Chains A and B, each alone.
Chain A
Amino acid sequence: MKGLRAALLGTAFAVAATAAAQAQSGPTLRVGMAAQDVGRLDPHFAVSTIDRVVVAWMFSGLVRFKPGSIDPSEIEPDLAERWETSADGRTWTFHLRRGVQFHGGFGELTAEDVVFSLRKSGTAASSAFAADFRAFQTVEAVDSHTVRIVLRENVPSLLGILTNYSGGFIVSRRAVEQRGADFVRAPIGTGPFALDRVTPNQSAELVAHAQYFRGTPQLGRVSYRFIPSDASRDLAFQNRELDVNYGRADQTWINRTRQVPNTVVDVFEPGELAILNLNTRQPPFNDIRVRQALAHAVNRAELVRFRGQDVAREGQSVVPRGYLGFAQQPLLPPDTNRARQLLAEAGHPNGLTVRVIHTQLPEMLTMMQVIQQQLRRSGITLDLQVVEHATFHQQIRQDLSPLVYYSAARFPVADIYLTQFWHGRSRVQTPTAVTNFSHCDQADAQIDAARVSTNVEEQKRLWAEAQQILVQNVCGVPLIETLLVFARRDNVDYGYQLRGSMSLGPVITEQTRIR
């Protein structure tokens, strides 16, 4: 009996080894990223663009966005092959695929791994996304391949929380327990690629996961190279040392890169909406006439021309367009005379000067300098205090700047954006702060009601009402939305059309190939 078991085990290992060897013999995709290094590769701590891009190649969620899409209506099964929900929408039961294997011989995925992962994601000490799981009451394994989630209250998109994004990634319980603190540098998932090694300051090397449940990847390896200098990365791409290159959201860059032979430039969602957040509790923006004057002083069309028509579009509300629940609002038009008149009415006939803390990050700084010029035409002088980026993030959270330029993309459902930026609970300098720099709370009732509503149409109506209130109160001035840009050689076929990616970079799947 022992002999038979040994023989079977030996055969299994031999088959696995052969499959692994075949998988790794495929071509290597070389991706250049504007980064010094990766951070923590525990997917529940992957918050930077650099980390988000790479963990999406290594991990799966219960469900996933259809590759190339960020449309919540296109969420499809991933580790869960099907699911059902109770009539009140608070109990969800997920049935897992059988035979899904973790990387590195960590065995088959079971309900215990899913329960462990979701509980880990929901715990502040072990996840950066714990707040997303606030509505989770229990997560339990019904049997080895069934997981039940019970919610305290309805959430606008439970599937959204469980996608291959942020806290939805599933990790191997055994690997986390075995590796402890080392898991952040030796992560184990079920995605099409497994981490081989990280060479600090150089690259993260990934190998194909031969037992990936959707089939063996066509690529053998992915080399994710950290090249912080834009100029050097572009030269490496032109010199054919890279197959995929992180691009700049800038029309000149796009036009120039399109001239490189055999090159395709992909411009895709999600768009980051930039907003001037105005502190409505402090002078001078506690006077709505000053806020309105500032809104009239901004010219969005000029900003789009500055950034580039292909990569930027005008903001139309305090929520990015395309999000579920987005409703276009009648924003105040650019009008210098009206701005000056409003300032005079508010007691600033000679204009006013506002001291603003801003980051030194080039893309944000140049945009702010354009805005500074626009406002100057209406008599508003921005005294920019340019600080290093980490300092900027700390100081704006300490309410040290009455005007905050902030650009962000979130999960494409209005609730997340509205809650984090415009709900009273998220006001900075409070125990539950997130990124509400305006201190507005006038739309709290609508945001809260929409969150727990089970009727989608009702939710949309409430979200639209919330946006209308916030725009009328000029809590912030929407500027532009900036899309993501990557370039690739035309022989790189992602296996899908890249229209959007919640991981903020192209998702490399088992179907991605180099022709």
Chain B
Amino acid sequence: MVFFFVRRLLAAVPTLLAVLTLVFVIVRIVPGDPALVILGDQATPEAAAALRARLGLDRPLWEQYLSFLGNALTGDFGNSLVTGRPILAEVGAVLPHTIDLTVAAMLFGVIIGVPVGIWAALHRNRAIDVAARILSLFGLSFPVFVSGIFALLLFSLHWRLFPVIGSANLDDPADRLHKLVLPAVTLGLVMAAYITRVTRSAMLASLSEDYIRTARAKGVPWRRVVWVHGLRNASLPIVTVVGLYVGILLGNSVLTEIVFNRPGLGKIIVGALNQRDYTMLQGLMVIYCFLIVVVNAVTDLLYGVLDPRVQAT
């Protein structure tokens, strides 16, 4: 298993390099000058040039690129151009919040989405199925910045159950959990809706297979037929979707982070992009790619657990 994991990580190196190169080039092609962001709108060209020189932005691109790659290999991503703070420290400070939110939203999505999807599949075209489909469509169509504000109005302002400012003290598990509930549920609802639909389709496909009919003919209890024979075979597409979605959540939960005032990777990425913080963007991309590779590797490992034929190949 370790060998499999390491092999997947090594296979990701060319992808990582390609992404880094692309990010390095694109952020420099896009108009916008970090020196102007730092010095403000009263900056003279002379002052901007002096700052660019100090930040090393006046060096040839290939030199900046090689220097960035060399430093990245040693784990040194440098400092943010805008705040001057070390990139690893910045990311390290917000990563636990992102992981909390991603894991909690994923768990919520799976815990709600899988049973509802199975339930809907078992009651195909009946009221329950129709309700599940409508609700999941509703969940998919409701953007987080709307559902989040509604959740805050109800649970924070009206019932005063949760705070509006969701940035938690990481050293206090109770505070961390308390402030995680609303954003995780809001974000998880979208995922639950998605998983409900995928689970329903996968279960319908699985339940119509010959081995299900055989199992039932052999007198296997219906509950066992559904959970062991049906769900296990339907689980591959579900795991695929969860893996993909976790990858998306890692960087794309920015709206949830903004609405619930939580720190997170998504928020940093947007901020760095707006401020043309080249070094921060580069560092973030390395870390983000690494996380995606790990999530994909874990997903592949799960395939192996669920279907031994995958590991053999």
On A, residues with C-beta under 8 Å from B are: 36-40, 42, 45, 47-48, 124-125, 128-131, 181-182, 184-185, 198-203, 225, 227-229, 231-233, 235-236, 238-239, 241-242, 387-391, 393-395, 397, 408, 410, 420, 430-435
Contact = CB atoms under 8 A, between A and B. Distances in A.
B126 interface: no
Contacts of A235: 149, 152-153, 156-157, 164
A271 B38 CA distance: 23
Q: Could you say which interface size class chain B belongs to?
A: 35 or more
Contacts of B240: none
B147 interface: no
A395 B31 contact: yes
B45 interface: yes
Contacts of B38: 39-40, 45, 47, 128
Contacts of A198: 85
B167 interface: yes
Contacts of B79: 181
A39 B83 contact: yes
10 contacts: A37-B271, A39-B83, A131-B42, A185-B83, A225-B165, A225-B167, A227-B165, A231-B149, A232-B259, A241-B163
B1 interface: no
Contacts of B267: 36, 201, 228
B165 A390 contact: no
A42 B83 CA distance: 10
Interface stretch (B17-25, B46-54, B132-140): B46-54
Interface of B: 30-33, 36-47, 50-51, 54, 79, 82-85, 89-90, 93-94, 149, 152-153, 156-157, 160, 163-165, 167, 258-261, 263-264, 267-268, 270-271, 274-276
Contacts of A39: 38, 82-83
Contacts of A201: 93-94, 167, 263-264, 267-268, 271
B44 A432 contact: yes
A238 B261 contact: no
B31 to A, nearest CB: 4
Nearest to A425: B44
A225 B163 CA distance: 14
Nearest to A38: B83
A200 B32 contact: no
Nearest to A129: B42
A177 to B, nearest CB: 16
Which has the most chain A C-beta neighbours within 10 Å: B90, B152, B165, B260? B165
Given A235-B164, A239-B157, A389-B274, A227 B261 contact: yes
A202 B168 CA distance: 9
A92 B163 CA distance: 54
Contact of B39 (A47, A242, A394): A47
B40 A185 contact: no
A235 B148 CA distance: 12
B13 to A, nearest CB: 29
A390 B275 contact: yes
B85 A241 contact: no
A159 B39 CA distance: 23
B84 A125 contact: no
A390 B156 contact: no
A390 B44 contact: no
A232 B258 contact: yes
A40 B160 contact: no
A420 B44 CA distance: 10
A408 B79 CA distance: 30
A408 B270 CA distance: 25
Contacts of B85: 184-185, 198, 200
B199 to A, nearest CB: 33
A408 B42 CA distance: 10
A232 B165 CA distance: 8
Contact of B36 (A182, A203, A239, A390): A390
Given A40-B82, A200-B90, A124 B268 contact: no
Contacts of B258: 228-229, 232
B164 A393 contact: no
B46 A40 contact: no
